[in-house]
Amino acid sequence: MIVRQLRDTEEDAEAVRTVAAAAFGASRALPGETDDEWPPRRIASVHGRNRHLARTDPGGCWLAVDDAGMPVGAALSHRREGTWGLALFAVLPRAQGRGLGRELLAAALAYGRACLRGIIVGSEDPRAAATYRQAGFTLHPAIRMRGIVNKERLAPPDGAVFEGGPRQRDMMDSVDRRTRGGAHGPDHELLLRQCRLFVSDDLAGSGYCYVGDDGKVELLAATSRRLATRLLTAALLSLPEGTEARVQNLTAEQEWAVDVGLAAGLKLSTRGYVCLRGMRPPTPYIPSGTFL
Chain segment 59-82, per-residue pLDDT in tens: 999 999 988 889 999 999 999 999
**Confidence tier at 87 by pLDDT (50, 70, 90):** very high
The span from the CA of 259 to the CA of 282, in Å, is 18
Question: Comparing 30-44, 209-223, 251-265, which segment has the lowest mean pLDDT?
Answer: 30-44
pLDDT surpasses 80 at 29: no
Predicted pLDDT of residue 32: 42
pLDDT surpasses 90 at 96: no
**Confidence tier at 35 by pLDDT (50, 70, 90):** very low
Nearest to 221 by CA among 171, 277, 154, 155: 171
Predicted pLDDT of residue 37: 67
pLDDT surpasses 90 at 89: yes
Mean pLDDT score across all residues of the chain:
93
Nearest to 261 by CA among 275, 250, 273, 272: 250
Predicted pLDDT of residue 33: 39
Predicted pLDDT of residue 26: 45
The span from the CA of 264 to the CA of 147, in Å, is 9
Give pLDDT tens digits for 135-156.
999 999 999 999 999 999 999 9
pLDDT surpasses 70 at 36: no
DSSP codes, 139-202: EEEEEEEEEE--TTTSPPPSS--EE--GGGHHHHHHHHHHHHSS--TTHHHHHHHHSEEEEEEE
The span from the CA of 209 to the CA of 224, in Å, is 13
Q: Characterize the bridge pairing of strands 83-91 and 117-122.
A: parallel
- Mean pLDDT over 260-271 rounds to 96
The 3-state DSSP class for residue 256 equals helix
- Mean pLDDT over 47-58 rounds to 98
- Mean pLDDT over 188-193 rounds to 97
Chain-centroid distance, C-alpha 242: 24
Kindly report the pTM of this predicted structure: 0.93
